[in-house]
Structure 1
């Protein structure tokens, strides 16, 4: 941050910027010293919003983060409030790959955490048992099965964090092994085989498209062995029940209850042990963003991302519609032209997909985003991409795809937080860091979610929901040191320390798989 004045409540992020961000509400007529000049506030400006530090004519660019964020639609004078009344997005995606220049790999650092080592070599930060519904028709049965495993009953299995249901709204009336079917199958299989899941039971109706057999045949759902190598069933598969075969709902629930006790006995054999931090798969997410997100919480999480990559782990950023406008920053950091092209191809797909329904990708900023000071998708994306830190982009994955890589990667997803996180968890993320400026209450099972407030006011106002406060950056703390503290907190959570959402028991209804295609 090149110019920051706590006393006067302004931050200008880059010398090239012709706007600054208000760190407090500014009153009309207030005089502010910035860069040796006196700036008179022309209108009341809410905290987190932009104020013009220089004039700009219609058609000229407004610059923030040292990058254009949109074009002026009405003349702007110094001291004016810069927002939707005088600024619009004007981003054009470039397919120029000539500037690709990936940064060198960071110096390796050695850290550890206490995790659950799985027979396939992956490591969990939690040890859950999942009850997976193949179709919406079995969703209620799955929830009723889970409800039987109360806290009191679960005391029999002290090494298991809990039993949770994976239910959804589809699973049938779709083209067999078509795009929608494959996307759903990837996500269901990703949860069933997740490193944070020590055991699983699959429940279906029996006549749906997404049967347990489909998950076995097309998505490799096989037995999760106990540490001693034993298998729960003689055929080596995850136990699967169908309500039609078992004789209805009550019989299925009773059979599932008995089977889950066996699954829990085996999951309980897993114990935490010291493992290398290279086993971390960090998902970075932002939701309910505001004008501070790109100043405080997102770049602080970027520091954590760089630390995880330096440990040999994986960091994944998604929400493709919120990379639009800042995609060239990732293109330049791509390991190869093939990686860069895959990212650009996904953005082009989104433009066509949204346009098919009469929409535009640059309409992404929500009502809450705009109330918090974000005006254009380019501005929002420039702040969002800072969660990725500064390491090279190693790969681009499709939604819910298993992320068999190390380093920084992108997963294609929509900007809707529950759907975005669901995809990354299905891909193997065993830890989530979630920044918010307006206030999110998101939780997830089986992966713990660390929620980070962009400002101190939010941190105190929603204290039971916020794990960390990035508002300290606005109060003079060094961004690097704040990010380092966040990394240490992430290691403690990976080792079993509960997050706010875990302490409140959230995460049972946030499984929201994104699927593309018709219901027929």
Structure 2
């Protein structure tokens, strides 16, 4: 609920613009400032006078809270007072801290009967149908590396086909979106039987068969732990006309490997170019949901707008992947209630417990998130960030929980266990099959995710005006009062279809995507 309250002003002054704050739930102990508030500002609807400076996006206490008592936003606990908080005071890191509290998981109690949903005319996008029936939203040739040692040759091969460096290299192949090298810093000095290598191999395997790649090269050094032969074997892959694998050592060194790679790409380009787009149901869309560089508005504007679009996507038979497990921490009970079975809900809780143990053995606190930028934007604890973050998932049922980079097979809303760090998280989603990413931001994250396009959503109009060069949609209109969440959700759903049909997103226009391939490294490096 948006309310506007008056600024204190001298009697002979012109009437000041009414202060804008937003209350999200009647049970909340705070409201969120939509403008900078100064001491003495009166919030008539809350019967509160501001004490001190409150930046936009930050929280103002509307009632007194004693030390140790919980503070609520979204009608949920976001932390506990670490010192006395008085009505009108700024609520942030100086007086709000994490604390333990029980969550009622109420497995499956909130599941909706989707069979009663009204029929809709199927939405479509212009996709590329692969031989196995899967549908692509982009058409790249990919170069993957088994180890960091082969990154340089992979990049050299891809650079040979860069349109901004060599305009004629792909001139005869207009249907090919580009040749991209996805390199990483792992692949050796790890336990050959351990989980870390298994995750890397699963990630590389997911990219090797991703429908957005028309063809793939896999290049290694030759002596690394992550042997290409075992990588292919563990992922059920064999070499064929669209998948070639080789090493620098077997090929005869850097120069010969680069030359071999260039010739192989040239040989694969005619077949890669021989595609056409055709109308396909939206059920073939798998969308990864991301938020990064969040602020106090993320859970009010962009995340709910994305949630509204997700509800439409699921209604049309598509799939949405919610991730970033540390960023649902403290709000997971809102998802377990929507789990279609108790088993699915317990899978989610098991991943939460894994993260608690993981942080404990690394002597880390799960509340090291929010980041510095998140806190500057008004977010105080991971509990607060989590409650706003799950708004990306809309209101539909949770149908399955996957581990990192596992192939996503279920339709509907699913969860994939990933870190909160966006490049690692989205890399897992794409490995699982996401052919589109939607990314909300309040601070201005610059991000792309080849081979899948990424749509960027700004949480506030100030960011949109400052950095519209990087943003695709301004969700700040919700705060401005010029659009509703459901309206922008429909706009975003249409944008998803258009982007999946080939319209380039802002991050694609800037060339983002290759450097953001970051597989999750969890094991010891020896």
2:224 is the counterpart of 1:215: no
- Distance in 2, matches of 1:60 and 1:3, equals 26
CA-to-aligned-CA distance 1:462-498 (integer Å, 9 cap, x gap): 1111111010000112111111111111111111111
Q: Counterparts of 1:442 and 1:98 in 2: how far apart (Å)?
A: 35
Post-superposition CA distance 1:170-226 (Å, at most 9, x none): 112222242111100011111111111111111111122222212221012245xxx
Once the two structures are TM-superposed, the CA of residue 136 in structure 1 deviates from its matched residue by 0.9
Counterpart among 485, 496, 514 of residue 502 in structure 2: 496
SS at match of 2:480: coil
The structure 2 residue matched to 1:426, chosen from 421, 428, 431, is 431
* Contact preservation (8 Å) 1:25, 1:47: yes
Give the aligned partner of residue 149 of structure 2: 137
CA distance in structure 2 between the aligned counterparts of 1:196 and 1:402, rounded to whole angstroms: 15
8 Å contact 1:93–1:325 — kept in the other structure? Answer: no
Structure 1 pair 267/4, CA: closer, same or farther in 2 (3 Å)? farther
Deviation of 1:338 (Å): 0.7
Q: 1:164 to 1:108 in 2, by over 3 A?
A: farther
Q: Secondary structure at the match of 1:239?
A: strand
Equivalence map 1:1-80=2 (5 Å): 1=1, 7-34=18-45, 37-80=46-89
1:80 Cα deviation (Å)?
0.9
Residue aligning to 1:127:
139
User: How many residues are aligned here?
Assistant: 507
Preserved contact between residue 290 and residue 437 of structure 2 (Cα < 8 Å): yes
* Unaligned segments of structure 2, at least 5 residues: 6-16
Query: 1:395-414 maps to which residues of 2 (within 5 A)?
Result: 395-414=400-419
Pair 1:472 & 2:472 matched: no
Q: CA deviation at 1:283?
A: 0.6
Corresponding residue for residue 149 of structure 1: 161
Cα distance in structure 2, aligned partners of 1:141 and 1:114: 34
Match of 1:102 in 2: 111
Question: Residue 317 of structure 1: which of 318, 322, 325 is its match?
Answer: 322
| Alpha-carbon distance between aligned partners in 2 of 1:450 and 1:409, rounded to the nearest angstrom | 20
Which ranges in structure 1 are unaligned for 5 or more consecutive residues? 224-230
How far apart, in 2, do the equivalents of 1:374 and 1:4 lie?
Answer: 22
* CA contact 1:2–1:14 (8 Å) conserved in 2: no
- 2:98 maps to 89
Matched, 1:184 2:189: no
Instruction: Quote how far apart the aligned CAs of 1:4 are.
Output: 6.6
Equivalent of 1:277 in 273, 282, 291 = 282
* Residues 28, 41 of structure 1: 8 Å contact kept: yes
* Deviation larger for 4-13 or 323-332: 4-13
Deviation, structure 1 residue 100: 3.2
CA-to-partner distance for each residue in 1:105-153, whole Å, 9 max, x for gaps? Answer: 2545310000111112211110011011111111100000111113121
Q: In 2, Cα distance between the equivalents of 1:98 and 1:478? A: 31
CA shift for structure 1 position 98: 5.0
Counterpart of 2:10 in structure 1 is none
Coordinate RMSD, CA, aligned: 1.6
Larger displacement relative to structure 2 (92-101 or 157-166): 92-101
- Cα pair 2:108 2:340 within 8 Å, conserved: no
Asked if structure 1 preserves the Cα contact closer than 8 Å seen for 2:4 and 2:18, the reply is no
User: Aligned partners of 1:312, 1:472: CA distance in 2, in Å?
Assistant: 28
Query: Structure 1 length as normaliser, TM-score?
Result: 0.95
Q: Distance in 2 between matches of 1:513 and 1:319?
A: 14
What's the CA shift string for 1:71-130, capped at 9, x where partnerless? Answer: 112222221111111111224464754563312225453100001111122111100110
- For residues 93 and 498 of structure 1, the distance between their equivalents in structure 2, rounded to whole angstroms, comes to 45
One of 382, 387, 405 as aligned partner of 2:387: 382
- Given that 2:290 and 2:322 are in contact with CA atoms closer than 8 Å, whether structure 1 keeps it comes out as yes
Q: Could you tell me how far apart the structure 1 residues matched to 2:232 and 2:408 are?
A: 19
Q: 1:30 to 1:96 in 2, by over 3 A?
A: closer
Whether the aligned pair in 1 keeps the contact of 2:2 and 2:20 (CA below 8 Å) is no
Change in CA separation of 1:99 and 1:204 when aligned onto 2, cut-off 3 Å: closer
Secondary structure, in 3 states, of the residue corresponding to 2:424?
helix
- TM-score, normalising length from structure 2? 0.94
Q: Deviations over 1:333-356 (max 9, x none)?
A: 001111111110111010111111
Deviates more, 1:50-59 or 1:214-223: 214-223
Does 1:113 pair with 2:113?
A: no
Quote the Cα distance in structure 2 between the aligned partners of 1:9 and 1:96: 35
Determine if the alignment matches structure 1 residue 456 to structure 2 residue 456. no
Rounded to whole Å, the distance in 1 between the matches of 2:438 and 2:47 is: 39
Alpha-carbon displacement from aligned partner over 1:359-389 (angstroms, at most 9, x marks no partner):
1212321111111111111111000000000
Per the alignment, residue 339 of structure 1 pairs with 344
- Using the alignment, how far apart are the partners of 2:138 and 2:302 within structure 1? 25
